[in-house]
């Protein structure tokens, strides 16, 4: 009987459920990731009072703000979803997301309304995060509760494609707008077009979701009067369920999240920031890898129905831990071979008194870093040059060594503003000239890029994403009973993806900025994935044969 059900073709109603849920979720991810893709341009528009490094950090922090509040959206909307229903809850979430995105497109920048611009921008990002916190759990639960017992992995895997498809759609709209308007106009005002265009996607999404029916599992429970009156206290106030929530977080979603964001976001930042590949080329290559990799969400989702969810997710985490360093090193050689050659032949070393080296985070733009160490590192960071640190005796002025050439740094403490600017310009030129002599390129040479190899590497990173992400919706649904499923599965998912994953670009960038080594940011996803691998392997139980209706 079970075998016959497993081979039964998808019904028209099931296709409609998957299509409607997935399409709406694609649009929500499109809205959410527009900001991340355009973080550098947005930083210049809304944080123009800060220096370039702080602009990037603050734009990434504003991006991260949307992730930080996602668990709170999961709690709020998860509670509503378990009390009043799945359908209407994630209809509300898409209205909030679409409206917030449209307003970003028409919001004046810092030059027009001053500090109100970044404050409103961050507020809109918070609203987006709250909406997304309620969206995913609703869509995944809705599809799972319409799925046959032995096809739940395959059916919910369609929801798993939506984040990647949303990112792909945002990249395509950005590239199309940029090509049509040109890079100058796009950076000035054209970046707003993809945000404003989202209002059309919102209209389509709302229309589709209004035509959907409530989940049969929830409808049955509601008709029998068995819905939860207090989903939050049932989910997190009782140890028997809370311990499963905790295990789902540290043993599944935390590792899944860092693998996802490394493969689909950090790789893009690495290409453009560390390897100096131009934005359009990087976006095209990442988009191509998404096209190649996306079908594997369905492949691994369906495979999880046969061999289990856990082995596939744990294998993805293991491969990430073992291969990230060599893979990103290979990416450097393929995308910017001149940079890889220069790093191998002429290492850059900063020798300085550690007491002179500050953590250069300047949120207000008013802090002046005047020590010789800070000035040396500022110049190298501004040129996106990876370097090693060597401790010098106390009181020793910092030096930058490029190959066999040593360049003494200086302190600007006590210098008049005009003299300090002149000294800074001279020092930057001296370092830039020596970097050029040592073979360090100002940007990646398109003629020397091995675009086939870059695509292969990026596709491998996306493949790891599909392994950890394809089966996870089905597994999370199967871990919790219907009456508190929306709430219980949403919180670990959004803490994992909102905090561990969403903070990855900012955290990795900060690690690189502090240590100087462009590969050191990878330690963050590697350590988190390793923790998930150990805890998930030891303590998470397989769920593929769980009857989600029998749990109620």
User: In the predicted model, what is the mean pLDDT of residues 365-375?
Assistant: 74
Q: Spell out the residues 6+ positions from residue 270 whose beta carbon is closer than 8 angstroms to its own.
A: 328, 331, 518
pLDDT band at 288 (very low <50, low <70, confident <90, very high): very high
User: pLDDT tens digit string along 296-355?
Assistant: 999 999 999 999 999 999 999 999 999 999 999 999 999 999 999 999 999 999 999 998
Q: Specify the DSSP element, H or E, that contains 69.
A: none
User: pLDDT tens digit string along 484-511?
Assistant: 887 888 889 889 988 898 788 778 877 8
User: pLDDT tens digit string along 437-466?
Assistant: 999 998 999 999 999 999 999 999 999 999
pLDDT top residue among 267 and 511: 267
Residue 407 has φ and ψ, to the nearest 5°, of -120, 115
pTM (2 decimals)? Answer: 0.83
Q: Spell out the residues 6+ positions from residue 416 whose beta carbon is closer than 8 angstroms to its own.
A: none
Asked if residue 493 lies in contact with residue 281, where contact means CB atoms within 8 angstroms, the answer is no
The encoded tokens of residue 389 equal 């640190």
Mind giving me the DSSP string for 113-163? HTTHHHHHHHHHHHHHHHHHHHHHHHHHHHHHTTS-GGGHHHHHHHHHHHH
Provide the pLDDT for residue 363.
45
Provide the pLDDT for residue 66.
81
User: pLDDT tens digit string along 219-246?
Assistant: 667 776 666 677 778 778 888 889 999 9
pLDDT band at 9 (very low <50, low <70, confident <90, very high): low
User: pLDDT tens digit string along 83-115?
Assistant: 777 777 878 888 898 899 899 999 999 889 988
Residue 390 has φ and ψ, to the nearest 5°, of -130, 130
User: pLDDT tens digit string along 271-285?
Assistant: 998 899 998 899 899
pLDDT top residue among 349 and 128: 349
CA dihedral 129, 135, 138, 144 (to 10 degrees): -120
Q: Please tell me the distance from the alpha carbon of residue 166 to that of residue 507, in angstroms, as a whole number.
A: 23
Q: Domains along the chain? A: 12-336+446-539 (1.20.1250.20), 351-437 (no CATH)
Provide the pLDDT for residue 48.
77
Q: Please tell me the distance from the alpha carbon of residue 168 to that of residue 285, in angstroms, as a whole number.
A: 11
Q: Spell out the residues 6+ positions from residue 177 whose beta carbon is closer than 8 angstroms to its own.
A: 186, 190, 191, 193, 194
Strand, coil or helix: what is 552? coil
User: pLDDT tens digit string along 33-84?
Assistant: 788 778 778 888 888 777 666 676 677 777 778 878 888 888 888 888 777 7
pLDDT band at 287 (very low <50, low <70, confident <90, very high): confident
Provide the pLDDT for residue 271.
94
Provide the pLDDT for residue 216.
66
CA dihedral 247, 167, 100, 42 (to 10 degrees): 110
Provide the pLDDT for residue 367.
56
User: What's the distance, CA 427 to chain centroid?
Assistant: 36
CA dihedral 253, 255, 258, 259 (to 10 degrees): -110
Nearest Cα neighbor of 135 from 102, 100, 90 is: 90
State yes or no: pLDDT of 6 exceeds 50: no
Provide the pLDDT for residue 550.
58
Q: Could you tell me how many residues make up the chain? A: 552
> What is the residue-averaged pLDDT of the chain?
86
């Amino acid at each position: 009987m079970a075998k016959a059900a497993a081979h039964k073709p998808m019904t028209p109603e099931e296709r409609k459920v998957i299509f409607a849920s997935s399409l709406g979720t694609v649009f929500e991810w499109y809205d959410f990731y527009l900001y991340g893709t355009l973080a550098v341009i947005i930083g210049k528009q809304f944080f123009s009072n800060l220096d370039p490094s702080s602009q990037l950090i603050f734009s990434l922090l504003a991006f991260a703000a949307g992730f930080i509040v996602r668990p709170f959206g999961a709690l709020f909307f998860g509670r509503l979803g378990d009390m009043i229903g799945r359908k209407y809850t994630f209809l509300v979430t898409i209205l909030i997301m679409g409206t917030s995105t449209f307003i970003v497109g028409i919001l004046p920048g810092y030059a027009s309304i001053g500090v109100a611009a970044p404050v409103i921008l961050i507020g809109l990002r918070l609203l987006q995060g709250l909406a997304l916190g309620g969206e995913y759990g609703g869509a995944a639960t809705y599809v799972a509760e319409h799925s046959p017992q032995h096809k739940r992995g395959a059916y919910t895997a369609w929801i798993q494609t939506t984040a990647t498809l949303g990112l792909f759609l945002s990249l395509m709209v950005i590239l199309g707008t940029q090509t049509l308007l040109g890079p100058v106009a796009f950076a000035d005002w054209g970046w707003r077009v993809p945000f404003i265009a989202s209002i059309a996607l919102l209209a389509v999404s709302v229309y589709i979701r209004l035509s959907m029916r409530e989940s049969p599992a929830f409808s049955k429970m509601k008709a029998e009067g068995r819905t939860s009156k207090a989903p939050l206290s049932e989910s997190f106030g009782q140890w028997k369920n809370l311990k499963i929530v905790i295990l789902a977080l540290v043993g599944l979603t935390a590792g899944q999240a860092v693998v996802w964001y490394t493969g689909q976001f950090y790789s893009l930042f690495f290409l453009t920031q560390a390897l100096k590949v131009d934005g359009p080329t990087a976006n095209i290559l990442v988009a191509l890898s998404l096209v190649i990799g996306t079908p594997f969400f369905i492949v691994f989702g369906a495979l999880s129905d046969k061999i289990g969810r856990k082995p596939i997710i744990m294998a993805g985490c293991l491969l990430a831990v073992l291969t990230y360093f060599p893979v990103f090193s290979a990416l450097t050689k393929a995308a910017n071979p001149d940079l890889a050659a220069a790093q191998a032949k002429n290492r850059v070393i900063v020798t300085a008194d550690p007491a002179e080296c500050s953590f250069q985070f300047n949120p207000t733009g008013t802090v002046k870093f005047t020590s010789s160490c800070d000035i040396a590192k500022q110049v190298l960071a501004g040129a996106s040059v990876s370097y090693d640190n060597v401790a010098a005796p106390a009181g020793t002025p910092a030096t930058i060594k490029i190959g066999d050439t040593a360049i003494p740094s200086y302190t600007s403490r006590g210098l008049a503003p005009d003299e300090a600017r002149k000294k800074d310009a001279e020092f930057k030129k001296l370092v830039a000239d020596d970097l050029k002599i040592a073979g360090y390129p100002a940007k990646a040479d398109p003629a020397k890029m091995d675009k086939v190899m870059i695509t292969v590497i990026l596709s491998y990173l996306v493949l790891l994403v599909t392994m950890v992400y394809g089966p996870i919706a089905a597994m999370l649904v199967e871990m919790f009973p219907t009456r508190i499923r929306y709430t219980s599965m949403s919180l670990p998912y959004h803490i994992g993806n909102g905090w561990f994953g969403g903070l990855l670009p900012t955290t990795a960038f900060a690690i690189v900025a502090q240590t100087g080594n462009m590969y050191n940011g990878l330690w963050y996803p590697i350590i988190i994935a390793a923790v998930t691998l150990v805890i998930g392997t030891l303590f998470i139980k397989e769920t593929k044969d769980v009857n989600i209706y029998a749990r109620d």
